[in-house]
Amino acid sequence: MSRSERKWDHIRFALEKRQNHSSAFDDIKFIHQSLPNIGVIDVGLDHEIGGLYLSSPIFINAMTGGGGEKTYRINKQLAIVAKNTGLTMAVGSQMAALKDKSQKYTYEVVRKENPTGVIIANLGSEASADQAKAALEMIEADALQIHLNVIQELTMPEGDRDFSGALKRIETIVKEIKVPVFVKEVGFGMSKEAVNSLTSIGVKIVDVGGSGGTNFAEIENKRREKSLSFFNNWGIPTSVSILEASSVSKNLSVIASGGFMSGHDIAKGLAIGADAVGIAGYFLKILVEDGIEALQKEIEALHLELKMIMTALGAKTILDLKKAPLIISGETYHWLNQRGIDTKQFAQRSIK
Ligand code: FNR
């Protein structure tokens, strides 16, 4: 199967599968405040991450490119939405275009459509520093994502089987690249051990890419003769992974992704430690099924939901929201307890 056919398979299967939405956010509850003392008009959603100024904490996460005309069209439409809504956008892995120059146009369209927006390049951890520089140059990117996708590769029939040396390669890229480098998972979450290893080599931004949304084990299992079904329920739920990653260092920017579909979950993700929230599968489904305008409307609705929740909590800024008191219960509480992560700090803090 060619790389372009595989890219299209990913999109097709991601759209087919209803998101299972078990990202464990139900275990997190905000504590209601009767006297927030602010209005919706006072709430601002802009935020800064590792030197990047974002007008919204929500961004379009890495999806596609490199699969010919169909992926060109999706990237073009996503770029138009990003431009019209002010959202940051990441492209899918650019390795396809580094290996086959005829695919470059499927990524370049993103910068063409959105000349002044914040755009993020994307490669896997097999990439060299020179490849990273070429990927950045291809779309004049403002930052680089390096994805870690061990479970996806293992489940992919034609996938990689050797993951040695990834940390060393990431270290070299972080040292040689001038723009911010995000290291991201693709739906299996990051443990605090993984995040610790990344911070030890100078990584300052991680995207936890937790389980609960697009499930690449299920997608790749559909392409296998004999399913590795045990990987279908593998991984760390998004909310748990945000809490694991945030426990590692105060100097780390944590990005949340994996299963976000509502303003309520986005608010919870930010409140438990994330600085921004990436959305992939949910946005793709709306775009492909209902078009550009429907996706723009949904993004506006998410912004409004987030502002309503922040108003109710008395949070004027994302930094305020990160101080809103909340309760962590259920399985998430037990997980954090066993992992030595303090949950009381969230229940006993306050915005004022
Ligand atoms: C992805 N994702 C992804 N990530 C990445 O770093 N490079 C890539 O090329 C791709 N490709 C890709 C294709 C498709 C069709 C989807 C839906 C997703 C993963 C994506 O960025 C994100 O980490 C996960 O999808 C989890 O987020 P959601 O989909 O649950 O919001």
Instruction: Kindly report, residue by residue over 55-64, the tens digit of the pLDDT.
Output: 999 999 999 9
78 has a pLDDT exceeding 90: yes
Pocket test for ligand 1, best of 147, 184, 282 (most atoms within 8 A of CB): 147
CA atoms within 13 A on the CB side of 257: 30
CA-nearest residue for atom 23, ligand 1, is: 186
Computed over its alpha carbons, how large is the radius of gyration of the chain?
Answer: 19
Q: Are residues 326 and 28 in contact, defined by beta-carbon separation less than 8 angstroms?
A: yes
Residues with CB under 6 A from ligand 1: 10-11, 14, 61-64, 92-93, 122, 145, 147, 184, 186-187, 209, 213-214, 257-260, 279-282, 284
pLDDT digit string (tens) for 80-101? 999 999 999 999 999 999 999 9
Residue 19: the pLDDT is 55
Residue 11: the pLDDT is 84
Q: How does residue 4 score in pLDDT terms, banded at 50, 70 and 90?
A: confident
Question: Alpha helix (H) ranges present in 105-237?
Answer: 105-113, 129-138, 150-155, 166-176, 192-200, 216-221
Q: How does residue 140 score in pLDDT terms, banded at 50, 70 and 90?
A: very high
143 has a pLDDT exceeding 70: yes
Residues of the chain above pLDDT 90, percent: 92
